[in-house]
Amino acid sequence: MDDANAIKTRVDGLLSGSADRRSGFGLAQRKAALVRLGETILAYRDEIARAVGTDLGKPAVEADLVEVLPVLAEIAHRGRHLRRWMRPRRVMPTLMTLGTSAALYPQPKGVALIIAPWNFPFLLALSPVVSAIAAGNAVAVKPSELTPATSALIARLLPQALPGLVEVFEGGQDVSQALLAQPFDHIFFTGSPGVGKIVMAAAARNLTPVTLELGGKSPVVLGEDADLARAARWIAWGKVVNAGQICVAPDHVYIPERLMGPLAAAIRAEWQGMAAGGTTAIVNDRHYARLNALLADASAKGAQVEALGPDRPELRHMAARLLTGTTAEMAISSEEIFGPLLPLIPYRDLAEPISAINAGPKPLTIYAFGGADLVARLRAETSSGSLGVNLTIMPFIHQNLPFGGIGIRAWVRRMAGWALTASAT
Ligand code: NAD
């Protein structure tokens, strides 16, 4: 691990190259860098899947599908659209400026710091790297210390693919904080809201702009007219993929009272067909204990918990669970669950879930299952980063949609090429 001085020296090396990159890192060089990155990832493909498997107990096929392929797709997408994104855009004169001309010229910011979480340890470190490089920046990357095999591989792979453009810093909070003290041009943080506040406070000392990709509770609302089979399929899958450790996993479900039984039965059936609890482990003992504490607290306060299979604590595999009878006093009702536990909450009038949602922080995503009236009411009466209709998770992987929340949840328009800034001439 580097000490603070070594970190500063390496970051200074990246910062000192900014002026040269502004003039010499054009379309052709950026495309070539992206191609090199893609080729290196392909060469390491099996090793990446193995490293993620070691860290998260995930089968190689799944790791490849959810960690490697999306990065390759993102590289292809950025490469395809880069020429258009880099083009200057003419701006029409206004009444006061008639007779002058103006244009917007995209320009790289300089050096971006990327701090990544553990839940998709390769994808969430690499995806912002792709955007930053496409936009002409250099990057410092701090992978999560909770997924050490993937972190070590990223530290080997990235400098090979992007020499001079990237530095990888392995380690935990102390490394992260030493990095945050440096005068980066942009900080891109993915993680929990608590650490997001620390990141933003540190960034304020250097007036560094920040993109925060945070977590939270993403509720599901079923309408009276929901297609139950479809809802059960999407909810069951969305909750067990990656063992529920996804920032946009469906957190809890609001259901018309009379549909509680049928929906629970349909979700149960789905989970039975897909190895309830999924195949991914809970990342570490602390999080395994955290989830068990949420269950114990809910049970002690009167919730009913139904496990859909056996746990395998030695592998930190946790079976999916349905919870009913949860109340606002239970920790599971206010904390982000981030695991395969699914509270089902009955309602009589749609106003109830709407006011419950509006009483908490704005969700990253709300999932609606039902017809146009339900969607129209949720769109008009709630506020969230996205609104998924009759599906889960998908808005997150749609390359042409911006991704992010509102307020403290997350501030980002990453998919639009967040690091392309404009200057007027
Ligand atoms: P975390 O906030 O604990 O850690 C994220 C990163 O911050 C890690 O690299 C860690 O080393 C660093 N860090 C931790 N404490 C720090 C401190 N005091 N000072 C400076 N740096 C520090 O988050 P996590 O547990 O790795 O990830 C889970 C969280 O991330 C969940 O809340 C989840 O919803 C969220 N998340 C959000 C998105 C999104 O795209 N919005 C995606 C994935 C995960």
- 287-312, pLDDT tens digit by residue? 999 999 999 999 999 999 999 888 99
CB 243 within 8 A of CB 280: yes
Question: What domains are there in the chain, each with its CATH number?
Answer: 4-214+409-423 (3.40.605.10), 218-392 (3.40.309.10)
Angle 145-2-129 from CA coordinates, rounded to 5°: 55
Q: Which residue has the least CA distance to atom 11 on ligand 1?
A: 172
Ligand 1 pocket, residue 415 CB under 6 Å:
no
Ligand 1 pocket, residue 292 CB under 6 Å:
no
Ligand 1 pocket, residue 115 CB under 6 Å:
yes
Segment 129-171, tens digit of pLDDT: 999 999 999 999 999 999 999 999 999 999 999 999 999 999 9
Q: What is the pLDDT of residue 157?
A: 97
* 94, burial (CB in 10 Å: exposed 0-12, middle 13-18, buried 19+): exposed
d(CA 392, CA 140): 32
Segment 198-228, tens digit of pLDDT: 999 999 999 999 988 888 899 999 999 999 9
Cα of 374 from ligand 1 centre, angstroms: 33
CB 71 within 8 A of CB 123: yes
Residue to mutate (ligand 1; options 176, 245, 336, 393; most atoms within 8 A of CB): 176
Cα of 336 from ligand 1 centre, angstroms: 13
Give 173's pLDDT tier (boundaries 50, 70, 90). Answer: very high
Cα of 269 from ligand 1 centre, angstroms: 33
Report which of 232, 212, 192, 214 is spatially closest to residue 367, judged by C-alpha positions.
232
| Nearest atom (ligand 1) to Cα of 194 | 2
Active-site annotation holds for 47 = no
* 333, burial (CB in 10 Å: exposed 0-12, middle 13-18, buried 19+): buried
pLDDT, mean of residues 66-89: 92
Q: Look at residue 118 and give its three-state secondary structure.
A: coil
pLDDT, mean of residues 178-202: 95
pLDDT at 423 over 50: no
- What is the value of pTM for the model shown? 0.88
Q: For the range 43-48, what are the long-range contacts, defined as Cβ-Cβ under 8 Å and sequence gap of 24 or more?
A: 44/153, 44/157, 47/153, 48/122, 48/150, 48/153, 48/157
Q: Which residue has the least CA distance to atom 40 on ligand 1?
A: 213
| Nearest atom (ligand 1) to Cα of 146 | 26
